[in-house]
Chain A
Amino acid sequence: MRYIPNTPDDRREMLREIGVSSFEELLGSIPTPLRLNRQLTIPDGQSEWQVRRDLTQMAEKNLNATGHACFMGAGSYDHYVPAAVNAIASRSEFVTAYTPYQPEVAQGTLQVIFEFQSMICELYGMPVANASLYDCGTALSEAVSMARAHTKRTRIVWSEAVHPSYRRVAQTNNLALGTSFDIAHCPNGQQTMDSISMLLGDDVAALVLQYPNFYGLVDDLSQLVERAHSHGSLVIFITDPLAMGLYTSPGQLGADIVVGEGQSLGNYMSYGGPYLGLFAASNELTRLVPGRIVGITKDVDGRRGFVLTLQTREQHIRRDKATSNICTNQGLIAARATFYLSLLGPQGLKAVGEACCRRTQYLIEKLRSIPGFSIAHEGHHFREFLLRVPGDARHFYKYMADNGILAGVPLTKFGINDERGILVALTETRTKVEIDSYVSLASEYASGGSK
């Protein structure tokens, strides 16, 4: 539809049709004190190039990962996106693919989803994965309500090392259902037995753990999983798929539901979205999985075909029974993740993971020797760690950003009361030069260069 503004003639005609002589008369029944009685403060129209120039200037005020060395993570990571991902994903078949309401005519779309699901199953070591959800927060929210529906219990225990934003989304979405949430503190940033097992009990629907956790630590979770299961609780893992080239899969550790953020797989940070919610579950839970699952079958002539195998009926025709209102998936972003994973292969994924770990370890060692700086947690770090800086982390962030480095995400941003804490992430794209300048700027900062 074209937008056609009214001409003065159009307005006169409309007023005449209504039976008034002016716009003022039309508003006559509204008391004068209630009216604005002045023109709206909207500037005059501008040409396209003027608008573009102004917006570009505004956009240049943003600090981004192209103009700065980005050490910020906390759920969104500056991984390299191979050009081939963009080339393949820009094909019109993928870009314009709409949600398969008539699935049988969308074989290509369905095949990509099928491949995507298969890869997520393999990465997480789980038998079932859906066609994706919106982002990790909504995926966790769905996992929580699914655990509730399956166990018919209402209490959730989650560790403090679960990303605060994910927790917030899941809590908001589940509060009205009467779900209660207990947070287990992680004194050393680690999800260990001590505080978590105290909260477990026979009324707990699920224990929620993050692996690698919010602070980048890879915890040993096998005993916790066992303990939760002994109470009949499910265990929900939040796992970055990119870490799966290196570590034991959640499935092998006994997870019942695994969710994750797929942004790290061939997708950009894009100022926060669209992202990709990953969702996998055990066989027993298949029928409760939200969203859609694509399956493979044969037609009457024995030819291979893809079908929307499972879409919980409740979401369509039995809404009163529904535990989820999600009937769709994040098609293009999931397709990008599929291309990324197929381009990297298991070896490539492992190489990216190792590169992240090596860089992280290198920066950790360097920063340890700078007076006033400390690494908050001991343990094995994947790609991320909590740094404590001298003074306020926001001040440190500003100093570093002024010198071309986005130093990390201050913890206060998540409402965590740790003014010195800043979460630092290193992907495979951080060069030695960038890491070394991080270290030298930090040294300067410590020796008063910040003043």
Chain B
Amino acid sequence: MNIPSGYLYTKEHEWVKLEGDIASVGITDFAQGELGDVVFVQLPSIGSKAVQGDSFGTIEAVKAVAELYSPLSGEVVEVNSELSATPEIINREPYSSGWIVKIRPTNFEAERLNLLSPEAYKDLTSA
């Protein structure tokens, strides 16, 4: 299972990666493996508010639908529009081109304490 370093994780299997003042968000390799073939992602609208721990969209696979929980609070500044035509990118490249939204976090330093390190996430998923 691929749990790259340089990313932070949630217990709900999202990842977040901060670059400059923008955080990319996606789901983990473990999550895409458990879900199976992703067929649809319901994205939030650009400019909407994300709240740490709240749902910002849904991800639908052939056999299940799951909520997407925001790892951080902030403003949604970009969504991955590639996903509407080719949601399967999430299965292929969950950590790179399979990103889902980009958030400009408003309280990163405090909220990062609620997130998991790669090691902690590894413990969680191998338990």
Contact = CB atoms under 8 A, between A and B. Distances in A.
Interface string B32-54: 00000000101000000000000
Q: Is the interface of B mostly helix, strand, loop or mixed?
A: strand
A287 interface: yes
A370 to B, nearest CB: 59
Nearest to A317: B65
B75 interface: no
Interface residues of B, number: 4
A432 interface: no
Q: Is the interface of A mostly helix, strand, loop or mixed?
A: helix
Interface of A: 287, 313-314, 317-318
A126 to B, nearest CB: 19
Nearest to A152: B45
B40 A287 contact: yes
Contacts, number: 7
Contacts of A317: 65
Nearest to A284: B84
Contacts of A314: 65
Nearest to A314: B65
B65 A318 contact: yes
A61 to B, nearest CB: 54
A317 B66 CA distance: 11
B78 interface: no
Contacts of A287: 40, 42
A213 B40 CA distance: 38
Contacts of B40: 287
Contacts of B60: 313
A313 B65 contact: yes
Nearest to B66: A318
Contacts of A318: 65
Nearest to B60: A313
Contacts of A313: 60, 65
Of B40, B42, B60, B65, most A-chain CB atoms within 10 Å: B65
A317 B40 CA distance: 16
Nearest to B48: A152
Of A314, A317, A318, most B-chain CB atoms within 10 Å: A318
A318 B65 CA distance: 8
Interface string B52-66: 000000001000010
